[in-house]
Structure 1
């Protein structure tokens, strides 16, 4: 739990908000924290002082008097606490939650983002209803539901289906199949509020799809456009479905009015006046932030987007015409975006970038030739995810784009400014041996810096401009620096300028040591390099140098010295640059990239393990083959030994057999016959004596 250190006024109204760390609840809590109780009861036209339009985006000191004290649950405990939350609770048991709810004057439950909160909201409103007699004062329960509980409502007049629904059609509303639990809770909340409304009043606010303050549901399209990684932003389906929407701060204003007015009706629809289609919204977003091009894809492709939940998908495919007639006629809302998202897209996109800290970084790297500007620029671009803008590559890219445009125009028998500009550039290059006059170079580079990618993420301008005059024309046209007030031109002027330098001796030695294969066809041949280096030094000792230009604009260049060719030298330079520039102001390594990298590493590990297993199997098979071969050879050798032994025994036994058959067996046989005839008492002794007497050699 985290408590505010400042003292809360005794007349503050205590407001509970669930999931106060999530998009919807957080913005409602932030809004109410800036409000005075009863402020929406006063007509702004009668106010003595007109409030600034940007009051919701700045943390302002609270006015004296009754204020809202915000407490609430968080889905996950983090070290970072919201300054507008007096108390945060996490992992509460139901009894502890009941105790906190009983201390609050207003309880707000949002179920638009997390359907898991439906059960808790049902328990909370039922628990409070049971404790009505124990209330120290009147309490209010506000259920923030979704317009999806109206999604399948049939038109009252079939002949005029384009007529929008209003709150009068409340009892005929029909929910989307995936939102039956939402509408069930809505009915329960309305029912419990009818028992004793003076003591316990309940309200249901059916919110349109929310946008603004960094985006939530529409974030996919904002992010895709801002990153510029796709040439065409997808529209799922034909895009003709009408999306009821409301700015998150306008929704918070509706909640404020419900608290202040305590209206008789218990159910409201909270949408703006727009009837924008999905196509209108996506085209507006990508025109402001991205390539300005869209493509229709099948509805099924939306299921391939990992960031979208089923609730998000159902909401984005909604097609519903509905009007918020009650709040228009009875509430006092200081609209941020009454006419809708498309009409206010410039404000919304600026709000998106500011809220998420997606601010462009504009950096310029200057220095003599061969000092390593491009190496440093590439590393800065990689670290900050910026666009590397080099003169030669930009001119080549521009010519290729113009050629492409002209080919399309020729196919359509149409000629425009692109055709004329391409002819002008080619003619100028023919007259100048392949080079362009400064006026065309300036125009090409300015157009490059004005592209959406450079305007969104930022850029590193590598080695350009080269002179005071070029800088003046590129960033301010013909005006003096003091006259630089053009909004568009201010967005392309570098915020940081780094001047990378080295001694002439070092630079000459570096170029002379380059391999011929690297030098060939470049401006690093000895003659060209020495001329370029001399020109650079000469330009930077004049009264009006390029660095003077930036100094005049109070953009003070940072000087960086290169003294060796070691990579560690560049690491130190990049470290100094990062210290000066600060943290990245974009998405950095986004979740998809982290997951993709993890997936790539997992796949790589699986491949390595599979390769290791395959290698082990191969080695085992090879060893088995070798064992079989060795076993075969051994068996063959053993068989040969046995055969040789047998042959030896056979040759030796033949002599013995001949001897026995000739000299032993006849006498022995005769002795055995005699023994059998006589049958002596000791046959062995008899046979021995017989053989001794009848020995042929005896």
Structure 2
């Protein structure tokens, strides 16, 4: 199934790449799409007429919901083999990359076999390039047993012995080479044995870059002894190798794609740690790597291989425009910059200024927590530096690392003497030195920082952020020279009225005020100094304005927001989203578990509250029912008593005037037993009544 098809021009060479959305395949596709066919041929220099370009097509691992990549003309997802063969037949060059994904081994074997069987139906010659891995050399015996350091070259490829987990890769390599020997005029095949690929965001080395960048560990682990040499190549240089194969069509069909590095894994991790992380490494058991989700079995095998190589063919036969010919260690600064830019791991540098007691530190702490930045105050930086120097002075040697304790001792004594002369404060030039060192540290260069309440004056800003490089010869520019690596990207100036600030200080707890300049006798002086500094001709805010880093002014007016939530939200809106990894998998799992627990507790609380209300309502209903029943019984009793009271005169009347005559009549009726007793009783009563009258 094709996505985003566009017409093929007459001056295009069609290139198929499998899994074009994977790490190295995507880089190769982007590289070739920007190249002109034949550009790597020396004799083609200067020829610009009738340029033939590369048109990139390929399969993707996942269906893209967004628009296809800009460098590809067609993308295929979940194709049947018959449809895939149809697309392969339309291409001039077929590149299958099995260096990243072993799941493509079976498809690759099928693809080369199917193309081989269809050679007679080709419209023109085709090139099949297999990108494999040097792990198919992992167990190759040394060329000279007496000198195991002699490197392997392409000429030794028939001697290669694969790592047990890469035997299928070796079988595919052999199949590809075999299929290219039948009709080279129709189908040329090449195998590129790639070293471990790096650059452009990283793949197999990503764990070491990420651990260094996050700064959560004091030492970056090296799995195993770290003395094994691993072959490597920058992913763009690998793309250059593919370009040269297409252009040159070399007679050598097995090519090693490696740089001149021959560095150990320990050297590589140390270089990454120095430039991105804490600067220290530690050897840990190889088995520890299996505990990490970042590595697969094949990754661990690749990182622990020991293989010395020499790219003789690349050096002598190809016209490569190397990106990192000397390897990752020698080019670690460039590789680290690529890693940060590719993954958009950009530091956020913020400076928060304002009068004393306006809430700078409270806001800075919240911003640091939100963006995972480093909170820098002058006092904390000085304390940290003094502690660091004291620790170094106590060390002679630790774990094989040497320290210049004499220099640390001298600087520590200098700082102490200066503080003794200035009532515990340091001169500005020492403060600048300490802060510049802190701002230039890897953690601040990686994630960024919030500089809290400093600099306070124009001159302090000039000295703190000045560029150590040579000044520009253009004296007409009014923009001060500054260090772009440590200058804040955002400046926020908090302010409030003097009365508001004084009221806030008066309401602070004694435990916070004690030992600070927030006391009643010291605070007015500090506030007056701040106002005076910010009313001069050149203020610290003017300095940032001149650099076109325009400060954003935030007025603090409400005492109803002690947590400064509104101020924090304004700053977050101005800065935008974080530019880092965000929460780790563990943090996300903990957050999800915490949210789940909170939901369970909330549901339990709601259920408990509901049950409590139902119980209260039931109790109220029962009480009301009981009261209603009691009232009903009382009403019935009163009615009964009333009836009895009303019936008493009637009863007396009947007993006195009616019952004696009626009783007598009934007795006589019983004696006589007439046929009609009722009539008899009536007549008897009538006669008795007449007799009485």
> TM-score, normalising length from structure 2?
0.81
Unaligned runs of 5+ in 2: 606-693
> Structure 2 CA distance, aligned partners of 1:88 and 1:568?
55
> Structure 1 CA distance, aligned partners of 2:261 and 2:268?
11
- Give 1:69's aligned residue: 55
> Structure 1 CA distance, aligned partners of 2:6 and 2:531?
60
Q: 1:196 aligns with which of 183, 200, 215?
A: 183
- Give 1:320's aligned residue: 307
The runs of at least 4 consecutive aligned structure 1 residues that moved more than 3 Å come to: 1-8, 46-49, 409-415, 477-486, 565-572, 590-593, 595-602, 604-609
Note if contact 1:233-1:286 (Cα within 8 Å) is conserved in structure 2. Answer: yes
> Structure 2 CA distance, aligned partners of 1:150 and 1:477?
49
Secondary structure, counterpart of 2:550 in structure 1: coil
Note if contact 1:501-1:559 (Cα within 8 Å) is conserved in structure 2. Answer: yes
Note if contact 2:348-2:448 (Cα within 8 Å) is conserved in structure 1. Answer: yes
Post-superposition shift, 1:114? 0.9
Post-superposition shift, 1:342? 1.2
- Give 1:472's aligned residue: 462
Partner deviation per Cα, 1:640-663 (whole Å, 9 max, x = no partner):
xxxxxxxxxxxxxxxxxxxxxxxx
Secondary structure, counterpart of 1:408 in structure 2: coil
> Structure 2 CA distance, aligned partners of 1:339 and 1:599?
47
Unaligned runs of 5+ in 1: 50-62, 613-698
- Give 2:196's aligned residue: 209
Secondary structure, counterpart of 2:192 in structure 1: strand
- Give 2:540's aligned residue: 546
Partner deviation per Cα, 1:148-191 (whole Å, 9 max, x = no partner):
00110001221111111111111111000000110111111111
- Give 2:556's aligned residue: 562
Post-superposition shift, 1:134? 2.1
Partner deviation per Cα, 1:483-514 (whole Å, 9 max, x = no partner):
7546xx33111121111112222222222222
Note if contact 1:523-1:529 (Cα within 8 Å) is conserved in structure 2. Answer: yes
- Give 1:635's aligned residue: none
Q: 1:176 aligns with which of 163, 173, 191?
A: 163
> Structure 2 CA distance, aligned partners of 1:129 and 1:491?
56
> Structure 2 CA distance, aligned partners of 1:105 and 1:565?
73
Post-superposition shift, 1:292? 1.3
Secondary structure, counterpart of 1:398 in structure 2: helix
Note if contact 2:56-2:72 (Cα within 8 Å) is conserved in structure 1. Answer: yes
> Structure 2 CA distance, aligned partners of 1:434 and 1:428?
8
Secondary structure, counterpart of 1:16 in structure 2: strand
Residue 502 (structure 1) aligned with residue 489 (structure 2) = no
Post-superposition shift, 1:84? 0.7
Residue 96 (structure 1) aligned with residue 83 (structure 2) = yes
> Structure 2 CA distance, aligned partners of 1:64 and 1:399?
68
> Structure 1 CA distance, aligned partners of 2:59 and 2:488?
44
Residue 452 (structure 1) aligned with residue 452 (structure 2) = no
Post-superposition shift, 1:8? 4.5
Residue 257 (structure 1) aligned with residue 234 (structure 2) = no
Secondary structure, counterpart of 2:410 in structure 1: helix
Note if contact 2:40-2:243 (Cα within 8 Å) is conserved in structure 1. Answer: yes
Secondary structure, counterpart of 1:300 in structure 2: helix
- Give 1:33's aligned residue: 33
Post-superposition shift, 1:7? 5.6
- Give 1:85's aligned residue: 72
Secondary structure, counterpart of 1:40 in structure 2: coil
Q: 1:290 aligns with which of 256, 273, 277?
A: 277
Post-superposition shift, 1:204? 1.0
> Structure 2 CA distance, aligned partners of 1:6 and 1:569?
57
> Structure 2 CA distance, aligned partners of 1:592 and 1:562?
38
Note if contact 2:133-2:193 (Cα within 8 Å) is conserved in structure 1. Answer: yes
Note if contact 2:374-2:444 (Cα within 8 Å) is conserved in structure 1. Answer: yes
Post-superposition shift, 1:598? 4.3
How many residue pairs get aligned? The number is 595
Residue 16 (structure 1) aligned with residue 6 (structure 2) = no
Question: Which stretch shifts more, 504-513 or 249-258?
Answer: 504-513
Q: Aligned ranges for residues 555-634 of structure 1 at < 5 Å? A: 555-567=549-561, 570-595=564-589, 597-598=591-592
